[in-house]
């Protein structure tokens, strides 16, 4: 896949780079993949550009993505479900993201958004995690869900419970 391009200060396209980074916050080690680009270093005291050395810089878009990834990593350490866990659960039981979202009481796109962009709230993240860890809760929520028909309920319940036997 071709790397994303970012414009340097001199308006020259450069590759967006990826790297694993660590942050320790209140004793918790958080790890996430950050995106950045390289450009000539600027001395913050003199305001001079050093054309012999490059440093990491971040566009606003990159910063937004990085901070989202960091927050996601933090919420996962605090007990929220990781997007990959949700995807793997849904794949295993063949539950569409929109159906899973409605069953859990979210709006149709919430689970899909979480899977693509990460968890945004600790309470939602923990609720999902609890459900992933206890299929009886999901089974119960399927029965209580008004937005899916009985055939679908039966089909989903069967798939969930078959695995338990």
Partner 1 sequence: MTELSYTVDNLALIQEFIDETKKRISDGVDITFTGKASSELEDLVLEFDIDAADIESAVMDLTTDNYYRGIDPSGRADFNVCAFCTPVGEDNVEIYLKYGLEAEGLQILLFSNHVPNYPMSQPFKN
CB of 61 to partner 1, least distance (A): 7
Q: Is 48 in the site for partner 1 (CB under 8 A)?
A: yes
Residue from 2, 27, 44, 151 in contact with partner 1 (CB under 8 A): 44
> Which is closer to partner 1, CB of 120 or CB of 157?
120
Q: Is 14 in the site for partner 1 (CB under 8 A)?
A: no
User: What is the C-alpha to C-alpha distance for residues 157 and 149, in angstroms, rounded to an integer?
Assistant: 12
Cα within 13 Å of Cα(90), Cβ side: 21
Q: Convert residues 97-136 into a mask of x (bound to partner 1 by CB under 8 A) and - (unbound).
A: ----------------------------------------
User: What is the C-alpha to C-alpha distance for residues 115 and 88, in angstroms, rounded to an integer?
Assistant: 10
User: What is the C-alpha to C-alpha distance for residues 103 and 127, in angstroms, rounded to an integer?
Assistant: 12
Q: Is 27 in the site for partner 1 (CB under 8 A)?
A: no
Query: Segment 52-81, which members bind partner 1 (CB under 8 A)?
Result: 55-61, 63-64, 66-67, 70-71, 74
CB of 114 to partner 1, least distance (A): 18
Sign of CA dihedral 159, 98, 69, 37: positive
The owner of tokens 């391009």 is 5
Identify whether the C-beta of residue 35 lies closer than 8 Å to the C-beta of residue 16: yes
The owner of tokens 């693509």 is 116
- CA 18 from chain centre, in angstroms, equals 16
- Site size for partner 1 (CB under 8 A): 27
**Site residues (vs partner 1, CB under 8 A):** 9-10, 23, 25, 34, 36, 42, 44-49, 55-61, 63-64, 66-67, 70-71, 74
């Amino acid at each position: 896949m071709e790397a994303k391009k970012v414009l340097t200060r001199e308006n020259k396209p450069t590759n967006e780079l990826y790297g694993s980074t660590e942050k320790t916050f209140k004793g918790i080690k958080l790890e996430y993949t950050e995106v950045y680009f390289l450009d000539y270093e600027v001395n913050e005291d003199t305001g001079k550009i050093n054309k012999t050395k490059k440093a990491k810089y971040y566009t606003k878009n990159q910063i937004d993505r990085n901070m989202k990834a960091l927050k996601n990593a933090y919420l996962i350490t605090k007990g929220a479900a990781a997007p990959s866990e949700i995807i793997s659960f849904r794949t295993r039981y063949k539950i569409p993201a929109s159906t899973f979202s409605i069953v859990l009481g979210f709006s149709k796109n919430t689970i899909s958004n979480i899977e693509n962009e990460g968890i945004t709230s600790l309470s939602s993240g923990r609720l999902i995690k609890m459900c992933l860890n206890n299929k009886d809760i999901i089974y119960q929520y399927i029965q209580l869900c008004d937005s899916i028909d009985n055939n679908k309920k039966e089909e989903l319940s069967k798939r969930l419970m078959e695995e338990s036997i």
